[in-house]
Amino acid sequence: MLKLHFAPNCRAGRVLWLLEELGLEYELNRMDFHPKDLKSDEHRARHPLGRVPVLDDGDIQIWESGAIIDYILERHRNGGLKPSADDERFPKYLQWFHYCEGMVMPPMNTIVVHTILLPPERRDETVLGQAQRLLTNTLKPIEENLEGKDYLVGDFTAADTMLGHACFMSNNLGCVSEEMTNIKSYIQRLMDRPAFKKAVIEPQ
């Protein structure tokens, strides 16, 4: 059985969400997003930087949320959520799947560092403002792409578990402007999905 090492309110939610969407059986090792759990010797043996998610599949252990999602889709697909290579949606699927970590997450990481992780005396308002503006700008192509669509490539796919989760987190950070009505509606559609509610809004 798959085993997910997980902490709430981080990238690990993407993987838990995918497992729920696919209806796969899994075991969950829920940890606190705190050094006492993540930086423990036990967890550093799983991930050299002491981060989550980490997936165990028998003797296989893999980390990096995008890699884990791709691995699950290829080895435990159980219904899809990834267009085949000859599907006309496949290029866009790849683009939005990787847009998440390539463009959206770097400024989000900076925002989290300068609003949550650093003590107040070490936070830099200039750096924070730059990251907030950059994050909002990276969301604009998503807003345009969602015009007339329910999900990133039409139907719900694993690209939505990656980038949709990032949009949800961006909204929580106040970086989805009220003018981005397509993204606001998209986030609500994601939040209405039972698997999202279970994995992201009310994780075990």
Q: Which residue has the tokens 């279970």?
A: 198
Contact 13, 162 (CB under 8 A): no
Query: Residue 77 — pLDDT band, cuts 50, 70, 90?
Result: confident
Residue from 197, 194, 170, 199 nearest 184 by CA: 170
The secondary structure of 126-174 as a DSSP string is HHHHHHHHHHHHHHHHHHHHTTT-SBTBBB--HHIIIIIHHHHHHHHTT
Is the model's pLDDT at 59 over the cut of 70? yes
User: CB atoms < 10 A from the CB of 177, how many?
Assistant: 14
Residue from 168, 163, 103 nearest 131 by CA: 103
> Which part of the chain has CATH 1.20.1050.10?
90-193
Tens digit of pLDDT for each residue in 123-169?
999 999 999 999 999 999 999 999 999 999 999 999 999 999 999 99
Contact 72, 26 (CB under 8 A): no
Dihedral of alpha carbons 126, 131, 132, 138, sign: positive
Residue 15 to residue 69: CA distance in whole angstroms: 6
Average pLDDT in the chain: 95
CATH numeric code, 90-193: 1.20.1050.10
pLDDT in the model for residue 202: 86
Provide the percentage of residues in the chain whose pLDDT is more than 70.
Answer: 99
Which one of 3.40.30.10, 3.90.1010.10, 3.50.50.60, 3.30.499.10 gives the CATH number of domain 2-81? 3.40.30.10
pLDDT in the model for residue 49: 95
Tens digit of pLDDT for each residue in 78-88?
778 999 999 99
Residue 164 to residue 52: CA distance in whole angstroms: 19
pLDDT in the model for residue 80: 83
Is the model's pLDDT at 204 over the cut of 90? no
> Which part of the chain has CATH 3.40.30.10?
2-81
Q: Which residue has the tokens 């890699």?
A: 67
Query: Residue 13 — pLDDT band, cuts 50, 70, 90?
Result: very high
- Dmax over Cα atoms in the chain, in whole Å? 53
Residue from 68, 58, 64, 56 nearest 29 by CA: 56
Is the model's pLDDT at 22 over the cut of 90? yes
